[in-house]
Chain A
Amino acid sequence: MSYIEVKELSYSYNNKTNVLEDISINIEKGEWIAILGHNGSGKSTLAKALVGLLEPATGEIFIDGTLLNEDSAFEVRKKIGIVFQNPDNQFVGVTVRDDIAFGMENLCVPREEMLEKIKFFAKKVNMLDSLDKEPANLSGGQKQRVAIAGILAMQSDIIIFDEATSMLDPFSREELVKYIKTLHKDGLTIIMITHEINEALLADRILVMNKGKVYAFEETEVIMKKKEVFTDNHLELPVALDLANSLEENESHKEIRDKLWEYALIK
């Protein structure tokens, strides 16, 4: 059984049109998945369903073998954390320390253990010097890192990033992406919803959503070779691959085309 299994999942907000329709996907432990799709394609709804924030109309979700339902939601949610788009919407603590503690408090972690964990995970996300800082004095990127520390402290090993970099400036974005790479190396399962094609390129596999359905779910390299995936879904190819595709298939262009592919797929 895969680490995350979604079986014939459908969901509608008002019993009218399906926001999600017949989604069946498997995700393995330690994989990095990127989810691409137009606004309103159902990406965020799928993310909410995965963390048990929405109850599917039909279908089932298994996380590490456990069926997600009302009874299991509390246990399952420990395994899976979500970082949202707007850093200000998810900072609940008065200080960095409080914010990291929030999830653990709900799990009734003993105080001594909690204090140790706060330090440990603050260090992991490079925020140990800022434990007493208030959210007003943190950058967007720093707030997102604090959110990650809170998730790690609950010992979750699946993290969903729902456009978590989209409100950050290029520098903070780069920093956060670097950090996600280390989480991936540490063996965490990463699910990253993004409009940023260069970020999607870092994933092992890409899930393309279209009008609530799975349009494609394949290895990143495979998806990138299929032009129709991009034209059908109003996605833009990465600049390097668009150029590679536009160069004709003759020998003299091969070297350049190879380098363009190399550039696009640097991880």
Chain B
Amino acid sequence: MGIRFNQVSYDYSSFAQGLYTAIKDINLEITEKNEFIALVGHTGSGKSTLAKHMNALIFPTSGSLEIFGNIITSKRSKKIKYNSIRKKVGLVFQFPEYQLFEETVEKDIMFGPMNFKITRDEAKILAKEALNLVGLDDTYLTRNPYNLSGGEKKRVSIAGILAMDPDILVLDEPTSGLDPAGKRVLMNLFKDINEKTGKTIVIITHDMDLVYQYFNRVLVMNDSKLIYDGLPEQLFKEKDLYINHLDYPNTIKVLTYLNQKLNLNLNVYQKTNADALLEIKRAAKL
């Protein structure tokens, strides 16, 4: 078992609001291999708080977590090497490109692994491998991160986490701010890493088209609670996403409109435009 949440709740206390429960009674299991999971929910639903628990960046207020055999509770334990948990579960924040700080891409990627008692030469090899894994060639190693495009910066920062070779990778809205082509390239890259290395990848996103097309497991947070854990298609069938401040994939919305206007009796659950086209042709018997 990679990560297991047992009745986990987390309260923030702030001067202005008093106590605020960010996540409540979460039960959840994430295996350490081969999973590709989307985490969705409205702003303030608790997604990021949930993600921060996954590498023990914050501790539960009540309940407990098991992360690669380590039991995490509200109290810090001297027996647990938190550093090693962070090596096993890599967390990439939103807009990670703002966190690049070294003068070369290579140094920036090496920064993470260098914290784990390895030599410079070993770190260099890891940096090169991670860079290739995110689809950039060796010429980038000597470049200054500030002169890269937004998409390239994003990849370099993700390589920085990959260089630590985590078993589980958690990314907070990695595709936001990218153009449609850049979005697809990055999503294909994550899928590719997932398939090639078997690393479990958890991605926070608002994009339901991506959820439908790329994932076979989706977690939905709403008002601090985990209200769904299962197949995307089942989610679209079972839940009213508008009530949960979410949206439906575009294919479903368009086909539903055609059904309403033309009585076509289409099966609206089509992942891609190509599937939707076949369904329209089938229903129109043409």
Contacts and interface: CB of A to CB of B under 8 A. Distances in A.
Tell whether A pairs with B: yes
Contacts of A243: 254, 273, 276-277, 280
B178 interface: yes
A59 B254 CA distance: 44
Interface residues of A, number: 43
Contacts of A139: 43-44
B13 interface: no
Given A239-B273, A253-B284, A234 B246 contact: no
B52 interface: no
Contact of B178 (A39, A168, A170, A235): A39
Given A252-B286, A260-B254, A134 B16 contact: yes
Interface in A38-89: 38-40, 85-86
Contact of B180 (A85, A141, A197, A255): A197
A216 interface: no
B182 A39 contact: yes
Interface string B125-168: 00000000000000000000000011100000000000000000
Interface in B247-286: 247, 250-251, 253-254, 257-258, 261-262, 264, 273, 276-277, 280-281, 284, 286
A86 to B, nearest CB: 8
A112 B95 CA distance: 41
A240 B17 contact: no
B43 A247 contact: no
Contacts of B254: 239-240, 243, 260, 263
Interface string A209-249: 00000000000000000000000001110111011001100
B16 to A, nearest CB: 6
Contacts of A235: 179-180
A176 B54 CA distance: 32
Contacts of B69: none
A172 B43 contact: yes
Interface string A145-182: 00000000000000000010011111110100000000
A166 B205 CA distance: 12
Given A137-B17, A256-B262, A256-B284, A39 B277 contact: no
B179 A195 contact: yes
A136 interface: yes
Given A167-B176, A197-B180, A252 B150 contact: no
B43 A256 contact: no
B258 A260 contact: yes
Contact of B258 (A85, A134, A198, A259): A259
A83 B175 CA distance: 21
Interface centre among B41, B42, B180, B261 (most CB of A within 10 A): B180
Given A169-B43, A170-B245, A171-B246, A39 B180 contact: no
B177 A163 contact: yes
Nearest to A266: B257
B244 to A, nearest CB: 9
B179 A170 contact: no
B182 A255 contact: no
A236 B280 CA distance: 20
Contacts of B181: 38, 234, 236
B206 interface: yes
Contacts of B178: 39, 195
Nearest to B277: A246
A89 to B, nearest CB: 11
B119 interface: no
A140 B94 CA distance: 14
B246 A170 contact: yes
A247 B258 CA distance: 14
B197 interface: no
Given A40-B149, A253-B284, A259-B262, A171 B245 contact: yes
7 contacts: A139-B43, A174-B247, A198-B250, A240-B254, A247-B281, A250-B286, A256-B264
3 tightest CB-CB pairs across the interface, nearest first? A171-B245, A170-B247, A234-B181
